[in-house]
Amino acid sequence: MATAVPVERDAVARACPGVRGIDVIAVGVGPALAAASTASALTAAALGGEPYGLVVSAGIAGGFQPGAPVGSLVVADEIVAADLGAETEDGFLPVTELGFGTVRHQPPADLVRRVAEAAGARTGAVLTVSTVTGTAARAATLGKRHPTALAEAMEGFGVAEAAAAHNVPVLEIRAISNPVGPRDRAAWRIGDALAALTEGFGKLAPVLESWDRHDS
């Protein structure tokens, strides 16, 4: 089984030298570019006769407190487009309530459990946003709207949409670099988060290599 790992940084590449069947692809920032880059890789692999069996979106994220402290790892049990929809006088409406599209993807539950156990990670929803949260008010709004959310990032839903279009299962793993809330660059711990991602991903090779979607 070949696995594509879209990342924004090289932490996963450092963690996986020599691991059989894993390709690391830097997809860029934001859901649109992530979707386009992932779709291009999946299409090329399929046309080449060697389709991927799993896509893993990996990178850093903001963590909803106190559930996901800085330096912890989160594995998504849901990948949610948190701001895809419409603002109305009565509040936010997800695109599904407008009658089209989707706003969430669910990774394989057994794989989420096995990966979380291997990496010592927490499980919960990971939100995909186009605008990073920078205020306490927005953090509270998102937390109320998505009570199981542990993390906020900018790529996972785009990766998941591309994977779904190719009927390939998806997984999202995030290392927490900062709290979700008021924007405070002094509180960011990007280096620590990348180190945690590298360490966690280094424990996953046996899980990723042995997992078979048809056994789920």
Highest-pLDDT range among 90-104, 113-127, 184-198:
113-127
Predicted TM-score (pTM) of the model is 0.87
pLDDT at residue number 12: 43
**Chain-centre distance for alpha carbon 215:** 23
Backbone angles phi, psi at 39, to 5 degrees: -60, -40
pLDDT in tens, 10-68: 344 444 444 456 778 888 888 999 999 999 989 988 898 888 888 999 999 999 999 99
Helix or strand (DSSP H, E) at 179: strand 170-179
pLDDT at residue number 15: 44
In 3-121 the beta strands, taken as DSSP E runs, fall at: 3-7, 22-26, 54-63, 73-81, 85-88, 91-94, 104-105
pLDDT at residue number 16: 47
Residue 188 has pLDDT above 60, yes or no: yes
Percent of the chain beyond pLDDT 90? 53
Query: Which has more confidence, 84 or 10?
Result: 84
pLDDT in tens, 171-180: 999 999 999 9
Banded pLDDT at 209 (limits 50, 70, 90)? confident
Query: Which has more confidence, 9 or 148?
Result: 148
Banded pLDDT at 202 (limits 50, 70, 90)? confident
